[in-house]
Amino acid sequence: MVGQEGTFLARTRDNEATVGTPASKNWTGPARTQREGWVTSTTVEGEVTYAGFVRSGLTGWTVAIGVPRAVVWAPLLRVLLPLAGFGTALTLLAAWAAVAVARRIARLVVALARQDADPSYLLNPGR
């Protein structure tokens, strides 16, 4: 909870040491100009958080809750990183298969282009 002056009135983390000290400026700026909202801010300890806030019209005090950015992104990254790895592996496999098929087609086209081509070559190109 932050007062009109931008100083902590109460806090769940390290309350005794932070009451009366200024809240981080990248959070108090939007909290003074908007009645409610959310911001990406850095706590006084230096942790990047997503913070939702609401300011009382009666007292001018602002109450906020912050969630560390790492906590928000961890589940998404836990899913996306393996998925990206699988997608990359699948792409490399498809490229390898395309090259293999292209080489085989190229050998057949070259054989057809030869005037002295033996027709049996087309039936057994590995010979």
pLDDT at 15 over 80: no
Last residue within a domain, chosen from 71, 92, 107: 71
* 106 lies in the same domain as 64: no
Integer Cα distance of 35 and 125 in angstroms: 77
Range of the domain at 98: 82-123
pLDDT tens string 27-60: 778 888 889 999 888 888 888 999 999 999 899 8
Helices (DSSP H) in the chain: which residue ranges? 15-18, 25-33, 69-113, 119-123
* 19 lies in the same domain as 43: yes
Q: How many CA atoms lie within 13 A of 70 on its CB side?
A: 3
36-42 contact pairs (CB < 8 A, 24+):
40/69, 41/66
pLDDT tens string 55-92: 998 998 889 988 999 999 999 999 999 999 999 999 99
**Looking at the 3D structure of the chain, how many domains does it have?**
2
pTM of the model: 0.59
* 59 lies in the same domain as 105: no
49, 66 contact by CB (below 8 A)? yes
